[in-house]
Amino acid sequence: METHIEFIRQYMRSLAVPWTEDGLEELVYAFETKTLAAGDFFLKEGQVCRSIALVHKGCLRLYTIDDGEEKSLFFFPERYFCADSRSYLSGKPARCFIDALEECELLTLSGEKVRELGQKYRDVETCNRALLAKLLVSAENRVMLHVLSNPEARYKRLLEDFGSLVNRVPQKYLASFLGITPVSLSRIRARMAQAL
């Protein structure tokens, strides 16, 4: 079974960062393990997001509440970094919640430790910038998809990007993420099943 250390090391090496052994090893051993049960919160609205988490097992959901209705904004399955990026980067209170949809094993790293290691090792700072760029591109792609695509195209993209989530995430959360009702999502699924 893969250890947490091996998982982090392998993930970091996949980022195309020119690592020094010292920088990589100090970063890898700076992560802490955190377990969440389904329904537990990684972050609540109003808290400041002081850590990022690499999801080793499980899935989390980033959402907000608008007029009493939960709006799913993003899902963080295995091998995704999880945070409320606005709160994490600015130090301001979060406007969103992050909760575990299933039992999760997270590998957390405080922003303070990231900054400390980034000052000590250029490769850690390069990694931090690469992860932030990846987050920015992902957010931009999501906005473009919602603005330029119809619900069926958004669902097809969800299947391409997060195919395994369709059976792990409740339909009401998937529908909210797509900006449609659960009934509309059922219709899209039925049409797509007939087309096969």
- Tell me whether residue 154 is in a domain: no
Q: How confident is the model at residue 194 (pLDDT cuts 50, 70, 90)?
A: confident
* 96 assigned to some structural domain: yes
The whole-number average pLDDT for the span 18-29 is 93
Band (145; pLDDT cuts 50, 70, 90) = confident
24-72 pLDDT, tens per residue? 999 999 999 999 999 999 999 999 999 999 999 999 999 999 999 999 9
In this structure, is residue 167 part of a structural domain?
no
Of the pLDDT bands very low, low, confident and very high (cuts 50, 70, 90), residue 1 is: very low
Q: 60 burial class (0-12, 13-18, 19+ CB within 10 angstroms)? A: buried
At 112-140, the pLDDT tens digits run 999 999 999 999 999 988 888 888 888 88
Q: Domain residues for 64?
A: 4-121
Residue 37 in domain: yes
Question: pLDDT value at position 80?
Answer: 92
149 three-state secondary structure: coil
* Residue 90 forms part of a structural domain: yes
- Residue 181 domain-assigned (yes or no): no
Q: How many domains does the chain have?
A: 1
- Domain with residue 28: its CATH number is 2.60.120.10
- CA-based nearest residue to 101, from 127, 76, 129: 76
In a domain? residue 127: no
Residue 195 pLDDT greater than 90, yes or no = no
Which CB contacts under 8 angstroms, 24+ apart, belong to 13-22? Answer: 15/127, 15/130, 15/131, 16/130, 17/123, 17/126, 17/127, 17/130, 18/123, 18/126, 19/123, 19/127, 20/121, 20/123, 22/121
pLDDT of residue 146: 83
Sheet with 32-36, strands from edge to edge, namely 32-36, 104-110, 51-57, 81-82
Residue 193 lies in a domain: no
